[in-house]
Amino acid sequence: MSGESLLRRPWWSSLAVKLFGSYLVVVAVGIGTLVVAASYATPSFFDLRMAQTMGGSGAGMMGRGMGRAIQR
């Protein structure tokens, strides 16, 4: 290859640029997957935790021991 043919290659044809681009695609897909999984899991997890917190103990967010301490 002559030096002249190297100057005519577009900048995106180098291996480093292609590897960097593929890493960006992998990171974007991973972030997208994480966002979708979190959006499906968070509402049900939140509802479950709120039901456990508000039900049964009667103390709510303060915990079991704090409710008794305040009542005295």
Residue 20 contacts residue 13 (beta carbons within 8 Å): no
Token pair belonging to 47: 């509802």
Please name which of 45, 43, 49, 69 lies closest in space to residue 61, comparing C-alpha atoms.
Answer: 49
Domain layout of the chain by residue ranges: 3-71
pTM value > 0.95: no
d(CA 36, CA 32): 6
3 — pLDDT class (breaks 50, 70, 90): low
d(CA 22, CA 24): 5
The pLDDT tens digits for 8-51 are: 788 778 889 999 999 999 999 999 999 999 888 888 888 888 88
What's the pLDDT score for residue 25?
97
What's the pLDDT score for residue 39?
87
